[in-house]
Chain A
Amino acid sequence: MEPTTTSHTSALRKTALNALHRSLGAKMVNFGGWDMPVEYPSSGGLIAEHKAVRGSVGAFDVSHMGDIRIRSGAKPGGALAAVQHISMNDASKLAIGQAHYSAMLYPEGTFVDDVIVHRLGEDDFLLVINAGTREKDINWVRENTKGFDCVVEELSDAYTQLAIQGPRAIDVVQRLTDVDLSGIKNYWFTHGTVCGLKNTLVARTGYTGEDGFEIYVPSDVATSEKVWKQAMEAGREFGIVPCGLGCRNTLRLESKMALYGHEISDKINVWEAGLERYCKMEKGEFVGRGALEKAKAAGLTRTLVGIEMVDRGIARDEYCCCNEAGEKIGVVTSGSPSPTLGKNIALAYVPPAYSTVGTALYVEIRAQKCKAQVVPTPFYKRAKKAAAPRVS
């Protein structure tokens, strides 16, 4: 077998919690140029971490994510106009304290990156972007907001970003803050005191398909470690575990959340990716809109589907999909065992004719055609339930 973990780390970027991850014995990997924990044997490994998040709570260091702040210049309205131009969702619909999923597009209607847009103020927005695309994104944002009366600032290195995720995340984070978290709806945020740090951004967001919070604290090592340790202490009775990027991937895949470079890229457009829900054509002009109109009129040649393996075998990223006749018709973008479902699942691009639930497909695994079928997505959706009893 080949080694999988990071051996030479000098050229890699590190978050403020890097030493702490290593002291916990985390397995570190190169993720988009970052030295990041993929799993923690001390947590029981990837599957145990995944199950902790689905069943109770887990903590992720996601400080590698990038942050871009866009504020209006001298006059009001510049920031909103700029965000509307570079982001496909309708930021005018965001109240202060609200966030939404969106994407920045090339003129071709394909993806620069996906992004969470937070409205910090009437004239103040925070865009949270992917780690591996940081430089490209900031350059693209600066270039495409030149004509607007706004100030673009990169804050990526200013924050340590922790994601506390799972049905008990609210109980854990509530112990760290004076903010009444039950008053924050999904995809809303507020500022409050967290671990004694005033004016800390707390958002009810995440990338796991569970309830959860993301906390943005100053990125110095002492503060970052203090907050991490306090979160672990607060979560102890709920069985909180440190979680790596390995289970972050399986959690997001079960929930059919896109990953840049896989389901979305500069080669794939919004309609193909099935993200029309977040693309507001009626809001007016934005970068990529013209191409999307044309693409819509032309119709789809491929679409993203969820598949489940019928035969024994695991579909992996970039494996080919074939039809019954053995012709190559598509490609897997993400594939993995699903720890929650106990099945092998994948997302794949196939022609629309093969996208109906129940359609048989064949995934080529080491030169063998293994049967799979199209299934409904998301693969996993958390139950909507009455508010769980709060532990005080």
Chain B
Amino acid sequence: MAYPKTYRYTKDHEWIDVKGDVATIGITDHAQHELGDVVFVELPKPGAKIEAGKSFGTVESVKAVSEIYAPASGEVTEANGDLHNTPEKINSDPHGAAWLIKVRLANAAAVSSLMDAAAYEAYIAEKGKETSA
């Protein structure tokens, strides 16, 4: 699956798509692949504050619980309610319909320090080499 060129990415495998001072956040295709079948998602409610690098929710597969870390700080404006009943969308469309939250950013400029698509792809390719070593 292609990594959208306009998104930025974290080492913890979240993506962030900034439009003005509002950003959409989700987990990457690599992350959903590592997790396996996603069966449960827990997200913050609108109004909640999230802080860059801190956990803001969890995604659970059959076998494991994974924390999701905020790529940037801000206030949640919307959580993707569709995932409540269809968490498996995270496996099929992680970069699109299965976005997790929308956030009003505290500092939109800070996002530019995150990896772009090319850097993220290089990052996971490097990790893949370690795995198969």
Contacts and interface: CB of A to CB of B under 8 A. Distances in A.
Interface string A1-34: 1111111111000000000001000011000000
A366 B57 CA distance: 10
B40 A1 contact: no
Nearest to A44: B37
Contacts of B14: 1
B31 A1 contact: yes
Contact of B62 (A7, A8, A22, A337): A337
Interface string A241-258: 000001001100000000
Contacts of A4: 34-35, 63-64, 66
Nearest to B31: A1
B36 A1 contact: no
Contacts, number: 69
Contacts of B42: 366
Nearest to B91: A45
Contacts of B34: 1, 3-5, 27
B132 interface: yes
Contacts of A313: 40
Nearest to B14: A1
Contacts of A46: 36-37, 61-63
Interface string A333-372: 0001101000000000000000000000000001000000
A316 interface: yes
B63 A2 contact: no
A39 B133 contact: no
A246 B130 contact: no
Nearest to B66: A1
B113 interface: no
A232 interface: no
A314 B40 contact: yes
B12 to A, nearest CB: 6
B54 interface: no
A337 B12 CA distance: 25
Contacts of A249: 63
A182 to B, nearest CB: 34
A22 B13 contact: no
Given A1-B12, A246-B62, A314-B40, 10 more contacts: A3-B34, A4-B64, A5-B34, A5-B131, A22-B132, A45-B36, A46-B61, A46-B63, A336-B62, A337-B62
10 contacts: A2-B67, A7-B127, A7-B130, A7-B131, A10-B133, A47-B37, A314-B60, A337-B39, A339-B62, A366-B58
